[in-house]
Amino acid sequence: MDDLYGIPGTPVFGGAQAAKGYALNKMCFDFNDAANRAAFLKDEEGWISRYGLTDAQKAAIRARNVLQLIEAGGNVYYLAKFAGIFGLNVQDIGAQQTGMSIEAFKAHLAAQGK
């Protein structure tokens, strides 16, 4: 993971990550288009083969694993469009990354307002 600032648990998307994740982020950027989202759902392997992803990026896409996607160079703004295909929002992906249940993650958010 990009350790640009060395803040624990806090990816910083700099040049090295942007270069490493270019193909993955390009695929996710293209998910702005509903036709591309539909094409992914119809033939996932065929669709991802068009983008030249690395094996690690393909595995992370197949696993729907956000931390692995970030490790593989994904940027959360583009990844959010991938998550959107499955109807997942930022609480869902927050819960997945922190290992919390959705309810526990939402409670964690609310607790910080006390």
Partner 1 sequence: MARIIGGLSASHVPSIGGAIARGEQQTPYWKLFFDAFIPVHDWLAREKPDLAIVIYNDHGLNFFLDKMPTFAVGAAHRYDNADEGWGIPVLPSFEGDAALSWHLIESLVADEFDVTMCQEMLVDHAFTLPIKLMYPRAGAHWPIRTIPVTINSVQHPLPTAARCWKLGQAIGRALESYPKDMKIIVLGTGGLSHQLDGTRAGFINKEFDLLCLDKIVGDPEALTRYTNRQIVELAGSQGVELMTWIAMRGALQGRVSKVASTYHVPISNTGGAVMLLRNDQTPARHAAE
> 10 Å Cβ neighbour count for 85?
15
For position 102 contacting partner 1 by CB under 8 A, the verdict is: no
Nearer to partner 1 by Cβ, of 55 and 86: the residue is: 86
For position 60 contacting partner 1 by CB under 8 A, the verdict is: no
**DSSP state, residue 72:** T
Separation CA 93–CA 4 (nearest Å): 23
3-state secondary structure of 66: helix
Determine the distance from the C-alpha atom of residue 36 to the mean position of all C-alpha atoms in its chain, rounded to a whole number: 17
* Helices 76-85 and 22-29: angle between axes, nearest 10 degrees: 50
H or E element that contains 28: helix 22-29
Residues of this chain, 5-44, that bind partner 1 according to CB under 8 A: 5, 7-15, 18, 22, 25-26, 28-29, 31-34, 37
Judged by CB under 8 A, the stretch of 2-10, 40-48, 51-59 that binds partner 1 is: 2-10
CB of 114 to partner 1, least distance (A): 8
Question: Interface with partner 1 by CB under 8 A: which residues?
Answer: 1, 4-5, 7-15, 18, 22, 25-26, 28-29, 31-34, 37, 66-67, 70, 75-81, 83-85, 87, 89-91, 93-94, 97-98, 105, 108-110, 112-113
